[in-house]
Structure formats: structure tokens, C-alpha cells
Amino acid sequence: MAEEDVVPKTFRAFVESADRKFARVRDLPSYGRAQGQHYFQKVFKAYMRLWKYQQEHRPELVKAGLNRWEIGEIAGRIGQLYFGQYMRTSEARFLVEAYIFYEAILKRRYFEGCGVKDLRVRFKELRFYARFLLVSLILNRTEMVKVVVEKLRALIDDCKANFPETNFKEWKLVEQEILRFINIDTTFTIPSSRPFRYCAMLNCHPNSVPYVARFHAKKVLKFRDAILMSYHRNEVKFAELTLDVYRMLQCLEWEPSGSFYQKHPAEPKENGVAVDYSGASGLIDMNLAADMTDPALPPNPRKAILYRPSLTHLIAVSYKSCYGNNL
């Protein structure tokens, strides 16, 4: 093997290995305790290795034909993994990590500039925008939602113009869904109102409420799991997240007391030095083990989000939410 071929072949081997592991966890249900946790750790490790390798050998890989959209796809997979972990654990740090990766993809334009005739890459970019919209919605990043909606709309129009033989009706429906969602949510939300999430600065800590404290003295009261679902037809929704479930989800979470929800978020630090993720160096850190939440706050209850489930599905989710560790 020629020396110049070692790096690209090693990179492709890492990609294939990470993709195989990703396929094993992609469709696992987001409910139940410790569901597939062992596999998720393996997938995170595989993508951490892959991401670091492409950082360290970026010039050689670009010379060998690595496309920017391929880097974006790797970062997008990592974002998917983090969001999946958030859905399974309700830990805010995973949601924030997903946002960091998706925002970096957008700012560095990993998908932009590729050939307009590559329909496969266009679909990857469409899926990226849809996933980023969901993460931004849950994080209440309204300004980013508006930016991504405009990019999604422009991309759909561009795809329809360049690929007239392909039907983009499904993506047009996605665009209509998100526009309706944000319009209704904005109409019935007072701009100056307090957030749906519990905030340590605005709400009393549970232990500070006298009658709850007295109850704790006799019996430990812990809200561990919740099932959020909706059955109504033609509800305002985006993907399978309906507007009412979207609001209930936030009402069952503590707003991190750190800097996550600032207008200009501060990034995690390494050795006391702030890491800037908005540059073009490609340095995006994976902080899976980092504890970015306030330890003084109680953990968020795990939430299973169901859209029009059958009775048997609801019973199965209820059972796994309660006894998942014993299955």
C-alpha cells in the first residue's frame, strides 16, 4: 500500500465501522431505562475516533478527495446521537451538545457549495435542516429556527428547480408544518412571559416548599418518568412533536442555570480556556462525559413522547418505563 493511501483508507475504514455501529442504535426506541446504553457508548467512541482522525489528517484527506459535505455528515451523525441520548435521558447537556454540532455545520456551510446535481447530498442537507429545526425548537432558539426555516425553504425551491423529475411534496409539507407550528406558538405566547421550563431564578426549589419538605420527611417523593402523548387528529405539530406535547415537555424540565439559554451562548471550556466552535478550524469537541448541568438541581424526569400510539404500544411503553432495567 502506498504511503499516501494509508490515511484515506484508514479514514474509510473508520467511517464504515462507525456507520455499522450507528445502524444498530438508530432505530432503538427512545423509552425505557438504560435501553441499549452499552451500544450507545460504543457508537460515541467510534465517532469520537473518526472525528479526531479527520481533524488530524484533514489536509491529506482533502487532497485524496474528501468533500466538505462528508465532514458535515459525520458531525450530523454525532448530533443525532446526542439528540437521541437527550430523548432517552432528558438530560439537557445532550440536547445542548446536539445543538453545538448542528450549529457548527450550519455556520461552516459543510453542505453548501456541493454540486447541485448531486440529489443524494441535497437530501442529506434537507434532513439536516429538519433535525436542526427540532433541536432548536426544543431549546427555544427562536432566532435560529427562523434562520433554518428560510434555508430549508430556499433549498426546497432550489431542489425543485434543479430536479424537476423528483417529487419534493413531502418536504414542502415539512416546510408548511414548521411554519404553522411557529406561527401558532408565537400567536399564543406572550413575548415577555416566563419560560415554560422551571428556572432556579424564578421558581422555588422543590425542597424549599414547606409541605413538600414535610412529605419528604416521611417518604421520598421523586418524579422519575412521564409519558407524553396526543391523540387528536390534525393537530399543530412538527414531525411527531405536537404543540401541546412540546409545551408539556418543557414544563417537566429544569432550565439549566448556566449559560446554555443565553442569547449568545458561552461554550464549554477546556483547561480554563473557552472553546470557540464558530470558527472554521473544524474543532468541535465531544463532551459526552462532561457534567454541564447544575448538580444542585434535581434531574429531569425521563419522558417518552408518543404520537397517536395504539393501546398495546402505550402499555408496552408504560411497562418499559417502569421496569426497563429488569427486562
Residue 261 pLDDT > 60, yes or no? no
User: Residue 278: which pLDDT band, with cuts at 50, 70 and 90?
Assistant: very low
Q: Which residue has the higher pLDDT, 34 or 114?
A: 114
Which residues have a Cβ under 8 Å from the Cβ of 13 and sit 6 or more positions away? none
Whether 114 is covered by a domain: the verdict is no
Place of cell 459526552: 288
Contact between 325 and 34 under an 8 Å Cβ cutoff? The reply is: yes
CA 78 to chain centre: 9
| 220 pLDDT tier (thresholds 50, 70, 90) | low
DSSP state of 287: -
pLDDT at 191 > cutoff 70: no
Say what percent of the chain tops pLDDT 70.
Answer: 71
Between 106 and 321, the higher pLDDT residue: 106
Q: For the segment 126-182, what is each residue's pLDDT rounded down to a tens digit?
A: 999 999 999 999 998 989 999 999 999 999 999 999 999 999 999 999 999 999 999
How many domains does the structure of the chain reveal?
1
Asked if residues 3 and 62 have their Cβ atoms less than 8 Å apart, the reply is no
Instruction: Tell me how far apart the alpha carbons of residues 133 and 126 are, in angstroms, rounded to a whole number.
Output: 11
Do 179 and 187 meet the contact criterion of CB atoms below 8 Å apart?
Answer: no
Please give the radius of gyration of the chain, using alpha carbons only, rounded to the nearest integer: 21
Alpha-carbon span 323 to 41, nearest angstrom:
22
Nearest to 31 by CA among 272, 308, 311, 306: 306
Q: Considering the domain boundaries, does residue 99 fall inside one?
A: no
The reported pLDDT for the residue numbered 210 is 57
Asked whether residue 275 is assigned to any structural domain, the reply reads no
Q: What is the pTM of this model?
A: 0.81
Q: Which residues, in sequence order, are bridge partners of residue 303?
A: 226
Residue 316 belongs to a domain: yes
* pLDDT for the residue 118: 84
146 found inside a domain: no
Mean pLDDT confidence for 249-272: 55
Q: How far apart are CA 20 and CA 144, in angstroms?
A: 32
305 lies in some domain: yes
Specify the pLDDT at position 81.
92
Measured CA angle at 31 (ends 27, 34), to 5 deg = 95
Residue type (1 letter), 140:
N
Residue 116 has pLDDT above 80, yes or no: no
Task: Kindly report which listed range (20-34, 130-144, 198-212, 272-286) carries the lowest average pLDDT score.
Answer: 272-286
How large a percentage of the chain has pLDDT more than 90? 44
Q: For residue 308, what are the domain limits? A: 198-260+290-324
C-alpha cell read off for 306:
408518543
In a domain, 295, yes or no: yes
Residue 215 lies in a domain: yes
Residues found in the chain: 327
